[in-house]
Structure 1
């Protein structure tokens, strides 16, 4: 199965629990990774959306980018992430292009995420 065939949001697919655990173990000694992060979505190139179970302020969702030293909170909770993704589908921000690939309008998604997540600095800055 082609990776693009399993994307449920543009560029990312939902990890199985087995793959999530395997990724946690693979990154356990990486200085950029924090114990207590559970990867939810992957892009196949080393980037993840992770549920931060180590956070004292709930369980925010961070975007782990393999090439970056910092991994910002993009959503205050799993519920906020899922609500934003669902709304992006509802509003047509996510769409299937003429070649059959799931795509998104990045600018409009940023506006939507800012609207739905006003308490998250990533979207305000």
Structure 2
């Protein structure tokens, strides 16, 4: 299924599962705006244009509780401008390689990165930068591609791996998440680690 359709399905499912924070996700940006901003970083990706055309991350992130911004486990969608700031900081400080673009954060220094480098073996994959979990400064593949990431997350909601408590915080059944994620992402290293 193409990404734009998956995102609409994801949003529909979030509403069905009573995701309490759809209203804090900003409306999407025009393709021209996304393309222009990414081009300043020498990044070109139709998938990032589609993602940020769907929604532009969480509104007013600095004034919200981390646990009440997650779209799924360990994943708060970064607004494009914040993602660019994190990208610039990471590249300047040699945290990860160029063209690994942060699209989600845990809120605690971990990131999900989209690999937009056509020269990498992992191009198109989603990698996690989470040194405290992976015990490595190198990002590790976590989803085989962006479509598979959203397919996996949708299935995690449907199978009960992700749900919300009465306070609006996400609860995770890590065993179900692990099983679903590993089966849907056979080329990703993260789900093979002993976390």
Q: Same fold (TM over 0.5)?
A: yes
Q: Does 1:20 align with 2:104?
A: no
SS in structure 1 at match of 2:97: coil
Q: What is the CA distance between 1:57 and its match in structure 2? A: 4.7
RMSD value, Cα: 1.7
Instruction: Give runs of aligned pairs for residues 83-94 of structure 1, distance below 5 A.
Output: 83-94=151-162
Write the distance in 1 (CA, Å) between the matches of 2:126 and 2:165. Answer: 28
Aligned residue number for residue 7 of structure 2: none
Instruction: Give runs of aligned pairs for residues 53-92 of structure 1, distance below 5 A.
Output: 53-54=116-117, 55-67=120-132, 68-92=136-160
Write the distance in 2 (CA, Å) between the matches of 1:121 and 1:63. Answer: 10
Number of residue pairs aligned between Structure 1 and Structure 2: 125
Contact 1:46–1:66 (8 Å) recurs in 2: no
Contact 2:75–2:105 (8 Å) recurs in 1: yes
Aligned residue number for residue 100 of structure 1: 168
Per the normalisation by structure 2, the TM-score is 0.59
Q: What is the CA distance between 1:10 and its match in structure 2? A: 2.3
Write the distance in 1 (CA, Å) between the matches of 2:173 and 2:123. Answer: 30
Contiguous gaps of at least 5 residues in structure 2: 1-63
Q: Greater shift after overlay, 42-51 or 94-103?
A: 94-103
Write the distance in 2 (CA, Å) between the matches of 1:121 and 1:50. Answer: 14
Q: 1 or 2, which has the higher helix percentage?
A: 2
Aligned residue number for residue 47 of structure 1: 110
Contiguous gaps of at least 5 residues in structure 1: none
